[in-house]
Amino acid sequence: MATINEALIRDVVQEVLGRLGGATPTAQTSPPPAQTGSAQTTPASSSRPAPGTAPCATPLRSRSAPAARRGTFGVFQDADEACEAAQEAFVQLAERGVAGRNKVIELVKNLCYVNAKEWARIELEETKIGRLDHKIEKLQAQRNVPGVEFLNPYGLSGDHGITLEEYAPFGVIGAVTPSTHSIPTMACNIISMVAAGNAVVFNAHPGAYKCAVMAARVFNEAIYRELGIENLACIIEPPTLESFNAIAKNEHVKILCVTGGPGVVAAAMKSGKRAICAGPGNPPVLVDGTSCLDHAAKCIVFGASYDNNLLCIGEKEVFVLEPFFDQLMAGLEKHGAYRLNPGQVERLTKQAFTFPSGQGAGCAHAVVNRNLVGKDPDVLGRVAGVNVPAGTQLLVAETPPDHPFVMEEQMMPFLPIVRVKSVEEGIELAKRAERGYKHSAMIHSHDVAHMTAMAKALDTTLFVKNGSCLAGLGNGGEGYLNFSIATTTGEGICNPRTFTRVRRCVMVDKLRIF
Ligand code: NAD
């Protein structure tokens, strides 16, 4: 149930009264009451910089900064208005210095952490895809998204003086987020973009925007309380293709960052603006039998069942050398997978895909039935005609290599397992299934030559050896987290540097101190 944040309302009313010279606000001039949902906000702290941050020259919450104009806390119906407000917020953020950026990051991470259970539930209720436990983890994991510390300037010193290359902000970024992780993608985008000094305007997925609007409002309320900046992370309510086009065209928007499937990637590329595109994938796994098969099975079940296989990096099809097929299958079942028989696979396939005629060159192209995307294994089991045991994490079955479940990014907790005769055949089929997205791939092997051959052939952005896909994002492997992996345009796993312009500052002949 929604609760009203009284301290915040008091703050805002005081602010408005101050601006009106003490006059009683009217309905037209006073901001609407803050809708905080049942979200918890962090306690208001002093304007002291966070531990480890540099003291800033201007107070974090500058009284001279332009006052919050619209009282919407980042939520806008009009895309152009949002872009303008974000531009003002960008200027205000620059005034608050590095300490201001650090404060925003601290707030966003804390809010995701303390509200993880509630926000995960809200997102799941709206989207009806994925798993609550993993949605909670995806919000708590925002702590692993890097911040300002990632922006180490590059320095040169020589006979002709010194040069510094710095990572400067763009200004306002237009961002599109997916239905598969709406709040987590928005949160890590805000952390990376603000760490680099930018403001952002989001167009969320129409099926996952209410939760994003709720979270954006809470983020902006907290930022406003601490720093006096109201619209640093704006969002359009409701998002439409028109609002996307308006954001893309707006003069304040310097670059786009889109996270989603082929449609939005194509739209962003056509926009005329530079676009950072975190596009689709269909990650294959190769198991060559040289490593522990039980470990491989455990990793595969963990990765492919995560959030019901909604992750773009998630294991989507497995190629295993023939002699090890039975042992791998037994391992998958041991670790929580349920094996479907051929009749059950056929029933599931008929419901999971449609084959509209008229697409493709004489050969119908499979289209994923979105009603089954991200559903629980027991739901898919019932569609297949079987009641799977409680606690089943994943469905598995043997399929041929050209099966739609192998070739399409289906985002369901059903994993096709394909027997192959050789490592060469496995690599060739994995490359075909990955379809040139250059997204992610996994291998379970102790043979360095096999690892190298697969890495070279698939040329993916993420390549994980002997771990689950999540190891590629720091969960079980080394590395930082982001839910936007810029595969299509090549920036890789997004981080603060992704959202910067490199500027060089040259001092000729002087300032070298030796
Ligand atoms: P989707 O492509 O349906 O939607 C993604 C976003 O793009 C949504 O906000 C949607 O409204 C918008 N969109 C779609 N077509 C558009 C168009 N023509 N113009 C403007 N906006 C448009 O994808 P989804 O189901 O929300 O998410 C799943 C897809 O996203 C999968 O393909 C997955 O691999 C990909 N994904 C990639 C990454 C990554 O980091 N590379 C991360 C998450 C998801």
Predicted confidence (pLDDT) per residue in 403-424, tens digit: 999 999 999 999 999 999 999 9
Given this model, what pLDDT does residue 356 score?
A: 79
Given this model, what pLDDT does residue 363 score?
A: 56
Calculate how far, in angstroms, residue 450's C-alpha sits from the geometric centre of ligand 1. Answer: 33
Given this model, what pLDDT does residue 61 score?
A: 56
Residues touching ligand 1 (Cβ under 6 Å) are: 176-180, 204-206, 241, 244, 259-261, 263-264, 267, 278-281, 312, 409, 483-485, 487
Atom of ligand 1 nearest to the CA of 181: 43
Given this model, what pLDDT does residue 72 score?
A: 87
Q: Which amino acid is present at 134?
A: H
The CA-atom distances, in angstroms, between 55 and each of 49, 58, 99, 167 are 6, 9, 7, 20
Given this model, what pLDDT does residue 60 score?
A: 60
Calculate how far, in angstroms, residue 260's C-alpha sits from the geometric centre of ligand 1. Answer: 2
Q: Phi/psi class of residue 445: alpha, beta or left (left: φ > 0; alpha: ψ in -120 to 50)?
A: beta
Calculate how far, in angstroms, residue 383's C-alpha sits from the geometric centre of ligand 1. Answer: 26
Virtual torsion, Cα 488, 258, 130, 337, nearest 10 deg: 10
Return the closest-CA partner of residue 444 out of 283, 284, 292.
Answer: 292
- Classify burial at 359, counting beta carbons within 10 Å of its beta carbon; exposed 0-12, middle 13-18, buried 19 or more: exposed
Q: Whose CA is nearest to atom 35 of ligand 1?
A: 260
Calculate how far, in angstroms, residue 441's C-alpha sits from the geometric centre of ligand 1. Answer: 20
Calculate how far, in angstroms, residue 409's C-alpha sits from the geometric centre of ligand 1. Answer: 12
β-strands 394-398, 233-236 pairing: unpaired
Rounded to 5, what percent of the chain is helix, strand, coil? 40, 20, 40
Spatial contact of 103 and 60, defined as CB atoms under 8 Å apart: yes
* Ranges of residues in the chain whose predicted pLDDT is under 50: 1-4, 7, 10, 12-13, 16-58, 62-69, 360-361
Given this model, what pLDDT does residue 355 score?
A: 83
Dist CA 500 CA 238 (whole Å) = 29
Residue among 259, 482, 484 whose CB has most ligand 1 atoms within 8 A, to mutate: 259
Q: What are phi and psi of 489, to 5 degrees?
A: -100, 0
In the 8-state DSSP scheme, what is residue 24?
P
Number of neighbouring beta carbons within 10 Å of residue 184: 29
Q: 0.95 exceeded by the pTM? A: no
Atom of ligand 1 nearest to the CA of 278: 41
Calculate how far, in angstroms, residue 177's C-alpha sits from the geometric centre of ligand 1. Answer: 7
Residue among 135, 176, 460 whose CB has most ligand 1 atoms within 8 A, to mutate: 176
Given this model, what pLDDT does residue 99 score?
A: 98
Spatial contact of 34 and 73, defined as CB atoms under 8 Å apart: yes
Atom of ligand 1 nearest to the CA of 280: 34
Question: Which neighbouring-strand residues pair with 274?
Answer: 255
Virtual torsion, Cα 252, 253, 255, 261, nearest 10 deg: -170
Dist CA 277 CA 431 (whole Å) = 21
Residue among 205, 368, 411 whose CB has most ligand 1 atoms within 8 A, to mutate: 205
Spatial contact of 281 and 312, defined as CB atoms under 8 Å apart: yes
Calculate how far, in angstroms, residue 93's C-alpha sits from the geometric centre of ligand 1. Answer: 29
Dist CA 267 CA 245 (whole Å) = 9
Calculate how far, in angstroms, residue 188's C-alpha sits from the geometric centre of ligand 1. Answer: 16
Q: What is the DSSP string of 3-20?
A: ---HHHHHHHHHHHHHHT
